[in-house]
Structure formats: structure tokens, C-alpha cells
Amino acid sequence: MGEVERTFISGLKEELVEEKVIDESQLDPDFAKEIKKYGGKDVMTFLQCGNCTGVCPISLKIDYKTRSIIKYCQFGLKKYTLGTRWVCATCYRCYEHCPADINPAEVMIALRHIAVREGVIPPFIKVAATNLVRYGQSVKPDEEINKIRKELGLGDIHTFNPDFKKVLREISVLVHASKYDKLIGIEDEVKV
């Protein structure tokens, strides 16, 4: 960046978050096919009416625009689609309202698959996966949860129970066989 440009931009006090010009090298024409491969519908039929963003309960709180993410998918701008797709709660409200009859929530799930395969894995996914292997569930059982369970009249979660050990072993085998551990990067946890 030249001196003049830097002065100009600092004068505007504008942050350079994204690249201002998108050239052809960033476009991936097969991206729509890749999304289809991972279970999403054809994003090319999307009308860009903005209904999905309007009904999205998350978009009211977070800067998360379903419509623009799908627009990136249409162009094949992979880079922009790999970041914040994890906030989607897959409530399928967008699908209920979509006049183009495509399912934005499933596109988001497909984008997660692609992101993981590309190596973009947020830390909480690793934590959840580790918990799954260690305790058989994605949330770590602790004193608090056992207290709430007691209040509701449920028994404690015993990770030391021999029956439970058998289940855990089965989970480990499944995780190892499907190479999920390698994908997420938790090979050390899984002992088969």
C-alpha cells in the first residue's frame, strides 16, 4: 500500500476488513456443486429476496446475513463463507419461508462440512468432540449438571460405571473408524 493510499484510508478511519476488489482468481465455479455434494440444495436457484435473513432469529442479534452468505456461495467466494457459519442454530425457519424452496439451513450445514475439511475448525468444536469421546456426550458432566439432575429426580451420570465404559468404547471405535478424530485433530484422545 502506498503512502498516499495509507494516509487517505487512515483519514477516513475506515478499517480494511475485506479486500475491496474481488478478482477472478478468488472465484470458485464448482463451489455450488461442492455444496450439493455435502447435502445442500442448488444455491443457484436462490432469488435473493432477503426473506431468510428477515426471519432468522440470530440475524437480529449478530451480524449474520443468510442471504449474503448464499450470494457468496453463488459466486463461489469460498473464503468468505468459512468463518461464522457456526452460529446458525438450524431452526429451519428460513426453509419455512423460502419462496425459492431451497433450504438455507442445509446449505449452512454443508458449509460447515466444507470448512472442517478445509481445516477451519473453531475451538469449541474440538472441545465438544473431546467431550464426546471422554464422556459420551458433547457437554462435560460436572457438579452443577448433577445438581440440576438431582432436582429433576434424575440419577447422576457415572462415567466410571462399567456399562458406560462399554458405550464409551463403542463411541471411540466409531469415531476412529470414520476418521472423525483425524479430521477434528483429537487422535490422542481416542485409544482403540
Partner 1 sequence: MPFPQAVPLKYTIDRENCLHFKTGKCLLCVKECTNKAIDHKMEDEVLDLKVGTIIVATGFQTYVPMKKGVYKYWEYENVITALELERLLNASGPTGGHLIRPSDQKTPRRVAFIQCVGSRNKKIDRNYCSRVCCMYAIKNAQIIKEHEPDTEITVYYNDIRAFGKGFEELYHRVREEFGVEFFRGRPAKLSENRETKSIMIRAEETLLNKITEREFDLIVLSVGLLPSEGSKRIGKTLGLSLSSDGFFAEAHPKLRPVDTATDGVFLAGCAQSPKDIPDSVAQAKAAASSAAAIMFSGKVKIEPLTVEVDESLCVGCGLCVEQCPYGAPELIQNEEGRTRARIIEALCHGCGTCAASCPQNAITAKQFTDEQICSELVAALSPSSQARTNGKKAEEGV
- Sites of contact with partner 1 (CB under 8 A): 47-51, 53-55, 59-60, 65, 67-68, 97-101
Instruction: Judge contact between 107 and 43, C-beta under 8 A.
Output: yes
- Give least dist CB 170 to partner 1, A: 42
Of 54 and 185, the one with the shorter C-beta distance to partner 1 is 54
Close Cβ partners of 165 (under 8 Å, ≥ 6 residues apart): none
Q: What is the DSSP string of 123-167?
A: HHHHHHHHHHHHHSSSSPP-HHHHHHHHHTT-PPP-TT-HHHHHH
> Using CB atoms within 10 A of its CB, is residue 180 exposed (0-12), middle (13-18) or buried (19+)?
middle
Of 27 and 47, the one with the shorter C-beta distance to partner 1 is 47
- Give least dist CB 61 to partner 1, A: 11
Of 7 and 48, the one with the shorter C-beta distance to partner 1 is 48
Q: What is the DSSP string of 28-67?
A: -TTHHHHHHHTT---GGG----SHHHHH-TTTTTSS--HH
Of 11 and 99, the one with the shorter C-beta distance to partner 1 is 99
Of 51 and 172, the one with the shorter C-beta distance to partner 1 is 51
- Give least dist CB 82 to partner 1, A: 19
Rounded-to-integer distance, Cα 119 and Cα 185, Å: 10
Rounded-to-integer distance, Cα 131 and Cα 175, Å: 12
- Give least dist CB 169 to partner 1, A: 46
Of 63 and 188, the one with the shorter C-beta distance to partner 1 is 63
- Give least dist CB 76 to partner 1, A: 19
- Give least dist CB 38 to partner 1, A: 22
